[in-house]
Chains A and B, each alone.
Chain A
């Protein structure tokens, strides 16, 4: 469990980026953190593995205050994947890049090899093991960045804007990686603007604005609140938008994907067909 208790954070230049954020993340949850640029999302997730320590308030991971642990100790549990893969690659080969964290955490040589093989397979990077990370395509780079964290098997996986610059297929791959991670009973936190992308996971939605949490609700409730989404400059999933336009006035909750919409439309259509 990650507990964030009334956290304030002020950057050295005097800008206060978090203003009283409280939040509890349970084991096994899937959470999407959303909000406009500069809302404080990245600042918040950097508190989860102790890269930033609260100016006021407290953050604890599985009961230990982040003040008492090093970033390395916390990172072992809370794996952070940052936005720009180019900000972390430095090895000559893909497999060395993946092994980096394992070496830092003191894994044995044969265990490192086993895990690297496993993760290369899982992430569809097996043919690139000897390639340079810098020669990969955008989608492969992103998967490598995720692989280099997933490989040490953290309990919590935190991804900062994983879909930026990714095409539709690459997004689907990232979703599947997160889904399989969740299946193992692990926790995923995703920072994103991209509702269409996370909606399949039915995450708990946390909406931030100007350093505060302004909404914390289920996907069903949050994503069909078009007025709120509009205020937060977020686009609703297209299916939700379609349902809204078809059945205006609203009062439709939880129409988030094609299955939901089918449930409503199918009875109507069959009735039509029978009438004719």
Chain B
């Protein structure tokens, strides 16, 4: 689980992908997401996965990217299992079609995880906020979004300390029936919620004492700018989409 969080966390690395404008990366992400939801044959989905690999290599985040795929391995197995089993019922037995369908669902999941992981690994929360502002989303919402992103790793660490503290007082998470297990989560969830609440109060106070919201119209120290590489990525994404659509429909 921790691995998935890690795979969505920005890494400060110098690379041509990191320096791209978040908007052009968002176009690429959008194209991959739309296509992978539109089509459900394993071949197309595999192409959508493979097309990410050169970008991942260029961004030098191969290790983190693979980690987030590995972190979601349990879910992949689950998705495959459930799809294969349900195919048994409406296809009247285990068939090759059922197998292909289950495989396609799993690859679709991997493709989506990979695409989102690539986006978040290479985009700073600040850039993301700027991009959202450009899309005319109110600054308060942009700020809330980036602050939330920024706190995910902290909360994950805190969850770990809380679990350690409760296990040291004899709490056994793996013991008991399903109902008891859910009840056993309370000693973990309660402190986690309270801490998150405290944290947001602290953040709000710190922001207010630094005059957050005093000026309606904000300006930014850094402005987003599209460069040649950005137009290249957007052009590539759109061409790629047109080609796939063309192949699939004619």
Check A86 against B169 for contact (C-beta < 8 Å).
Answer: no
8 Å CB contact of B161 from A71, A84, A90, A101:
A84
Q: A69: shortest Cβ distance to chain B, in Å? A: 13
A88-B2 contact in complex given A70-B172, A71-B168, A101-B170, C-beta closer than 8 Å = no
A105-B170 contact in complex given A88-B191, A89-B191, A90-B186, C-beta closer than 8 Å = yes
Q: How far is the CA of A79 from the CA of B190 in the complex (A)?
A: 22
8 Å CB contact of A88 from B165, B170, B172, B186:
B165
A13-B6 contact in complex given A72-B170, A87-B195, C-beta closer than 8 Å = yes
Q: Is A197 an interface residue (CB 8 A)?
A: no
Q: How far is the CA of A27 from the CA of B248 in the complex (A)?
A: 74
Q: How far is the CA of A71 from the CA of B172 in the complex (A)?
A: 8
A86-B191 contact in complex given A12-B2, A13-B6, C-beta closer than 8 Å = yes
Check B165 against A75 for contact (C-beta < 8 Å).
Answer: no
The interface on chain A, measured as residues whose beta carbon lies within 8 A of the other chain's beta carbons, has a size of: 27
A134-B194 contact in complex given A72-B172, A82-B165, A90-B187, C-beta closer than 8 Å = yes
Residue numbers in A under 8 Å from B169 (CB-CB):
75, 88, 100-101, 104, 148-149
Q: Is A60 an interface residue (CB 8 A)?
A: no
- For residue A75, which residue of chain B has the nearest CB? B168
Q: How far is the CA of A65 from the CA of B187 in the complex (A)?
A: 28
For residues 68 through 126 of chain A, which have their beta carbon under 8 Å from a beta carbon of chain B? 70-72, 75-76, 79-80, 82, 84, 86-90, 100-101, 104-105
The interface on chain B, measured as residues whose beta carbon lies within 8 A of the other chain's beta carbons, has a size of: 22
Check B164 against A46 for contact (C-beta < 8 Å).
Answer: yes
Residue numbers in A under 8 Å from B162 (CB-CB):
87-88
Residue numbers in A under 8 Å from B161 (CB-CB):
82, 84, 87
The SS class assigned to the B binding surface is helix
A86-B195 contact in complex given A49-B168, A75-B167, C-beta closer than 8 Å = yes
Q: Is B158 an interface residue (CB 8 A)?
A: yes
For residues 150 through 177 of chain B, which have their beta carbon under 8 Å from a beta carbon of chain A? 158, 161-162, 164-172
8 Å CB contact of A80 from B168, B187, B190:
B168
Q: How far is the CA of A90 from the CA of B171 in the complex (A)?
A: 13
Q: Is A201 an interface residue (CB 8 A)?
A: no
Check A87 against B168 for contact (C-beta < 8 Å).
Answer: no
Q: How far is the CA of A80 from the CA of B168 in the complex (A)?
A: 6
Check A51 against B195 for contact (C-beta < 8 Å).
Answer: no
Q: B239: shortest Cβ distance to chain A, in Å? A: 38
A87-B165 contact in complex given A13-B6, A100-B187, A134-B194, C-beta closer than 8 Å = yes
Q: Is B198 an interface residue (CB 8 A)?
A: yes
For residues 43 through 92 of chain B, which have their beta carbon under 8 Å from a beta carbon of chain A? none
- For residue A134, which residue of chain B has the nearest CB? B194
Q: B202: shortest Cβ distance to chain A, in Å? A: 12
Check B168 against A76 for contact (C-beta < 8 Å).
Answer: no
8 Å CB contact of A82 from B168, B186, B194:
B168
- For residue B162, which residue of chain A has the nearest CB? A87
* Most interface-central of B3, B161, B169, B172 (chain A CB within 10 A): B169
Residue numbers in A under 8 Å from B170 (CB-CB):
72, 75-76, 100-101, 104-105, 152
For residues 102 through 158 of chain B, which have their beta carbon under 8 Å from a beta carbon of chain A? 158
Q: How far is the CA of A12 from the CA of B63 in the complex (A)?
A: 13
B interface residues with partner A (beta carbon < 8 Å): 2-3, 6, 158, 161-162, 164-172, 186-187, 190-191, 194-195, 198
Contacts A/B (CB < 8 Å), 28 sampled: A12-B2, A12-B3, A13-B6, A51-B164, A51-B167, A72-B172, A75-B168, A75-B169, A76-B170, A82-B164, A82-B165, A82-B168, A86-B194, A86-B195, A86-B198, A87-B165, A88-B191, A89-B191, A100-B169, A100-B170, A100-B171, A100-B187, A101-B169, A101-B170, A104-B171, A104-B172, A134-B194, A149-B168
Q: What are the 5 tightest A-B residue pairs by CB atom distance, in nearest-first order? A: A104-B170, A90-B190, A101-B169, A88-B165, A80-B168
Extra A-B contacts (19), CB below 8 Å, given A84-B161, A87-B195: A12-B2, A13-B6, A51-B164, A71-B167, A72-B167, A75-B167, A82-B161, A86-B191, A87-B191, A88-B162, A88-B169, A88-B187, A89-B194, A90-B186, A90-B190, A100-B171, A101-B170, A104-B171, A149-B169
A interface residues with partner B (beta carbon < 8 Å): 12-13, 46, 49, 51, 70-72, 75-76, 79-80, 82, 84, 86-90, 100-101, 104-105, 134, 148-149, 152
